[in-house]
Chain A
Amino acid sequence: MAPSQSLQVHLSPAELSYLRSTLSQTPPIRLDHSKGPRDFRSMRAEYDVLPTANGSARIALEDGLEALVGVKAEVEKSQCHSPLGRRESPPTISPGDVSMLDGDDEDDAGAGGQNAWVELSIEVPGFRDDDPLPVFLGSMLHETLVADGQLTHSLYINRRFHWKLYIDILLLSPPLSYPLALLSMTTHLALLTTRLPALKSEKDEDPLFDDDWAAAIPLYPNCKQSGSNVVNKPPVIVVAMAVGENIVFDPCKEELAVADTVLALACTASPSSSTGARIVGMRTIDPPSHLTPPGIPNSMNSATGGTAPTSSTSALTQRELLANSGVWIPPRGGMKRTLLAQVSKMVSEKGGIGEEVINALEGIEVG
């Protein structure tokens, strides 16, 4: 999908060509030259900003991009298997209503959640909610959240009821640059602080909850406090782009305009160890660089003594030949396997980008 116009940058072919050549140097020089290829834009984050939501977070990036996420949970009746529901039909005197007393060991363990239990809505200023950008962002975020089944699993209450999670994502600023990573991080932080009322009822009864909010249970229990080894964290998406052989993380808007390829990597804390990250999803994103106007080399410009190509196909061929001449041509896309492996490694390795991002978000204490 091509990011729509507002994401386009208005740079001349010469500027684009300059940008690209600096980024493809070793080491690459980024637009903000103080940052290395692995550096993220600095941000301000706070959580619990919405008092009535179950969890919420706000992150503002240094370039003015700002997002707010609220998470609300509602109890919902499960549709598929309700053992009591079936019994309702004949209103006879069936003295033993025993299903509640039955052991539900196996059933419960296997009870997974459904993806529909998480509903996500995105509001981007200047876009209708059926515009491609919000729809694409929404489905990317949703598929990431439900990818490992952990989130929906923790929404299970009993065989008849489950929590339904409504995640409302609000981009407070205009989409100055591609907001996917920001939205994902804000969602991550909001989910991390989401708490669900503590359940008091047992088994398959109609759920009854503790009215004390302080007793509410975090959706993602803090592993350090609970002491369990199983690390369970909401997934987060990092965006990486490739320029030539170089890989740059968290590209800004202008950098995206010269990207060869853009990758969105969804990662989550690795389940076994507390180091490294596990990649749960990966997608390529059509970079805006494809839509940039190509530069016209002298050889193709009749004004400078060249000959204008007679047809568009011959123009393409001629440009191919001039690929490394320094005249801007939009990248064709595609990514080498080795590059892909390299990105994955950088994200998932011990002390890699994924772990760094997740730890950083967990480390946020005061807003």
Chain B
Amino acid sequence: MEYFSLKRSTAIDGGNANLSSKVYVRSTKSGKVQKIVREMYLRQDIPCSSNLCRACLQIAPIDYSKKAVPFVLSDTPAGSKHFLNGQYLVPDTNAFLTGMDLFEVETAFHDVIVLQTVLEEVKNRSLPLYHRLIALTKNEGKRFYVFFNEFRQETHVQRNAGETINDRNDRAVRKAVQWYNQHIAEAQAARSKKSQRIPSVVMISDDRDNLRKAKADGIPALTLSDFVSGLENGNDLLDMISAAQERREVRTGKPEVFYPEYFTMSRMMTGLKAGAMHQGIFNVSPYNYLEGSVHVPAFDRSLLILGRENGNRAVSGDVVVVEILPKDQWKAPPTKIIEEESLNKNDNPEAEDGENVSSERERRALQEEVKRVHGQSTEGRPQPTARVVGIIKRNWRQYVGHIDRDSVRSTSKTSRQQQVVFLVPMDKRIPKIRLRTRQAGELLGQRVLATIDSWERDSRYPFGHFVRSLGELESKEAETEALLLEWDVQYRPFPKTVLDCLPAEGHDWKVPASLDDPGWRGRKDLRDLLVCSIDPPGCVDIDDALHARQLTNGNFEVGVHIADVSHFVKPNNAMDKEASQRGTTVYLVDKRIDMLPMLLGTDLCSLKPYIERYAFSVLWEITPDADLVSANFTKSVIRSREAFSYEQAQIRIDDNSRQDDLTNGMRVLMMLSKKLRQKRMDAGALNLASPEVKVQTESETSDPVDVQTKKLLDTNSLVEEFMLLANISVARKNYQAFPQTALLRRHAAPPKTNFEELSSQLKVKKGLELRTESSKSLADSLDLCTDPNEPFFNTLVRIMATRCMMSAEYFCSGTQAYPEFRHYGLASEIYTHFTSPIRRYADLEAHRQLAAAIDYETLDPSLHSKAKLEGVCKNINVRHRNAQMAGRASIEYYVGQALKGKNIIEEGFVMRIFSNGFVVFVPRFGIESLIRLRDLASPEPEAEFDAEEYVLRVKGSVGREIELFEKVRVKITDEKEESTGKRKVRISMV
């Protein structure tokens, strides 16, 4: 009987298999478990990418233009103490996991070979680190090369029977290093007969077993710290190694445990599916670091998580799984301000023994809370509390903070002794971070960037490592960078790939003169319309321009012309990707971080006066009563006649001697906008208020000079009305054309519970009623919330009401039902953003959709895909919020700087009352600040807090009552806040 086998024979090419396979088990989301076999074709044409090697140049695969990818690794790599002939580094997975910040240092770590085995392991272990590693490999200066060792025949390693995956991967790394060394030596020999300088290929690993085996095989290998200490500024760099690794070795067999263990993943999954556990994002209250909350889909209200033990090592922002505590442990949310700094001043970062999770003082503070709550009946009803039982995803990022002076033992700058210090993050919701550093003396008084590496059960605070110093505390550069980092704003200059997407003509680009030019295809020539733009003074990125003229039938033609950004930014090129990442332009007091490169934002797209520009126009026919007759959309070419500031425009409209067509057009716009506004208000649009101030800076140094609240003119609302109208018209059109994938913006109606507190406060204190059934009734009742003696009271209520609202968000129309599209604040059924494509990515997408809706161009597939659009929306929602926060933080910093050294008495209003302090809002500067009882007098006076009447009766020498909404006179000084290192305005009672 002739014998044959179904199995693939390995004997075909003499045992030198060019085919291998990988077997693993894949568990799918739906619970299926599959055995997966992946075949791998091994090849010999993967180059070593060293410029020393000629042989690999011959075999390297070429692309369609017959060019091979240029080689990465230098032919004269830098040497070190151990390897004088220069070295190529091959770090293993743990080296990257623990030392990623080191590898990112510009001055060291060049010529690194990233093995595919390592890259894949890094990806499995930590996605953020993987992305950083990928970014490194794209950085030309760093010369990182990804070598696909698993696909190269010589370096492929088959897993042995009984070998663990880790051992196999370690062996693969060693094999690759061995091959590289041999290969480089051969290459050098082929280059010059009398080669004397052969670079070593060095494995970097902290695994002792791996190092031992490497030594046995004669493979050059070093631990990361050994290698770093051989470098010039080794001591400083050593701080940047992640703490996680070291700790594991230092502390062995020390079973003292402070936090409960996390549940296993499968147990959490089971619990989640069964509804016994809940998943959500862990948020810490900015007023009380011991109070966390998790909003879970199952309940309307967030679940409370009180105390460190229940928080169980979750850091604000983490995705956690919680379990609800038994009812007898339910509590009311604390009404007390608890700040970490005041309770845990005397913690010793070095001390590990005798640590309690909740320190004695913390526990007492919580106990008092509970007692108080139990004594109450109606107001402080106990709320469901929960505890964290596991973490689905850590959202640890890099945190900006400063070193706690009290935690530093020796402040000598020369001492290189390693010590453990606390980093106090700027964000109060983040716990102190333990850092191990040798440069504590130098870091004092600096803004420091650090990351969290681990939080073990036996440590009260998380362990992290130093990344870099941003500069002196309070210096403008350091503070600006700090707030950009804190709000995750991408502020690096645009990479070359993005700039390559700009038009080649640069600033000389013009609208083509010939109407036959392809740029004119489908464009209307609107150059003879009397268009003008109205913007804040000094505005350079002019998004929008307007015109109005009377038609023969008595109606008006009104046009809104928006910069045609989508003409310059094509979908899916590098510039588009960068813009979609950035999501929005961020405005700081003295700085603007652009979404698009300057050339586009401030020149080619900007609708500058007197020049022809491409635009996307919305043209309406409007009756004199401001009723819409028709709306048309077209790509166009316009020539703006004038760029006004709000004030200039106002003056021109008010000046009756000006009777030219342009001014008359503006008067028509003004008349129509007032009618439009009235209609909107009648429909129930909210007139909300947020404290907006403007910091005046000296033009040269941009040092703050004065703070003013922003003035609003009629022309502001003129522009606003027509922008709203354009946005609504475009939203309708886009939704009609793409019912599933239109990018829209919604503002959900706030749940009733959000207003409960404000409404009861108004009722108790002022006898006013806040009706919240609809936006209309809210708007009406807000109008009635006045105090004849206090004109500002109404604004104060509006500010507080605004804080009860939901935030508006971008969404993809297919993900919501039509009634959910509603924009609550604007009282519009449907809304989108269209009018600021230079500074918002959402508007750019809306432009593309509108262009497709009017058959100007075909829609890019990415705008057809609901999933992709949802991703875009999610990102820009976050970016939008962060940009706002960064802007506010910037103002806050500058207000602080402007008031530096000043001592002003101002009027303020009590906005919120706690049992041991209250919050005062000062309208003049748009600032609010906390006044604690202990700030009133020392020792801290006794006080009685009446939560139902919103009164805090301070006893003792102070002897006064603090009421909600009360007008108080306060003294404004500035101080450096101990806990965050920020210069902050300090308000104290007069």
Question: Which residues from chain A sit less than 8 Å from chain B, CB to CB?
Answer: 42, 44, 46, 48-54, 58, 60, 62, 68, 73-75, 77, 84, 87-88, 91, 93-97, 100, 197, 200-202, 204-214, 216, 367
Contact = CB atoms under 8 A, between A and B. Distances in A.
Contacts of A95: 323-327
A181 B36 CA distance: 31
Given A88-B275, A91-B275, A97-B274, A48 B7 contact: yes
A197 B35 contact: yes
Interface string B271-292: 1011111000000000000000
Contacts of A44: 1, 3
A202 B3 CA distance: 46
B21 A51 contact: yes
A97 B277 CA distance: 9
A88 B270 CA distance: 11
A52 B34 CA distance: 9
For the complex of A and B, 9 pairs with smallest distance between CB atoms: A201-B266, A97-B276, A208-B266, A205-B266, A49-B6, A205-B270, A213-B23, A51-B37, A197-B25
Contacts of A93: 324, 384
A100 B270 CA distance: 10
A87 B274 CA distance: 7
Contacts of B273: 206
Contacts of B21: 51
Nearest to B298: A91
A53 B35 contact: yes
A62 B1 contact: yes
A209 B24 CA distance: 11
Given A87-B274, A91-B298, A211-B26, A202 B37 contact: no
A176 to B, nearest CB: 14
B326 A96 contact: yes
A60 B270 CA distance: 46
Contacts of B5: 46, 49, 367
Contacts of B275: 88, 91
Given A52-B37, A74-B33, A367 B7 contact: yes
B165 interface: yes
Query: Mostly helix, strand, loop or mixed at chain A's interface?
Result: loop
A201 B265 CA distance: 8
B6 A46 contact: yes
A200 to B, nearest CB: 7
B23 A84 contact: no
Contacts, number: 112
A75 B266 contact: no
Interface string B33-61: 10111000000000000000000000000
Given A49-B7, A88-B275, A206 B269 contact: yes
B378 interface: no
Contacts of A51: 21, 23, 37
Contacts of B327: 95
A49 B6 CA distance: 6
B138 interface: no
Given A209-B27, A367-B7, 6 more contacts: A95-B327, A97-B271, A201-B264, A201-B266, A202-B267, A213-B25
Nearest to A204: B270
Nearest to B6: A49
Nearest to B271: A97
Contacts of A200: 264, 266
Given A88-B274, A95-B323, A213-B35, A208 B7 contact: no
> Of A49, A93, A211, which is in contact with the most chain B CB atoms at under 10 Å from its CB?
A93
Contacts of B37: 51-52
Interface of B: 1, 3, 5-7, 21, 23-27, 31-33, 35-37, 159, 161-163, 165, 264-267, 269-271, 273-277, 298, 323-327, 384
B25 A210 contact: yes
Nearest to B160: A214
Contact of B24 (A60, A77, A213): A213
B845 to A, nearest CB: 38
> Of B6, B159, B325, which is in contact with the most chain A CB atoms at under 10 Å from its CB?
B6
Contacts of A54: 35
A58 B36 CA distance: 21
B384 A206 contact: no
A33 B276 CA distance: 72
Contacts of A60: 1
6 contacts: A54-B35, A75-B32, A93-B324, A95-B324, A100-B270, A202-B264
A207 B28 CA distance: 12
Contacts of B326: 95-96
Nearest to A91: B275
> Of B31, B162, B163, which is in contact with the most chain A CB atoms at under 10 Å from its CB?
B31
Given A52-B37, A88-B274, A213-B24, A208 B1 contact: no
A75 B384 contact: no
A217 to B, nearest CB: 12
B711 to A, nearest CB: 52
A100 B267 contact: yes
> Of A44, A46, A94, A97, which is in contact with the most chain B CB atoms at under 10 Å from its CB?
A97
Contacts of B162: 214
Contact of B276 (A74, A94, A367): A94
B655 to A, nearest CB: 67
A60 B23 CA distance: 27
A193 to B, nearest CB: 13
A158 B343 CA distance: 48
Contact of A205 (B6, B264, B384): B264
Given A75-B31, A96-B326, A205-B264, A214 B159 contact: yes
Nearest to B161: A214
A190 B33 CA distance: 19
Contacts of B323: 95, 97
Contacts of B277: 97
> Of A60, A68, A77, which is in contact with the most chain B CB atoms at under 10 Å from its CB?
A60
Contacts of B269: 205-206, 208
Contacts of A212: 24-25, 165
Contacts of A214: 23, 159, 161-163, 165
A11 B828 CA distance: 92
B297 to A, nearest CB: 11
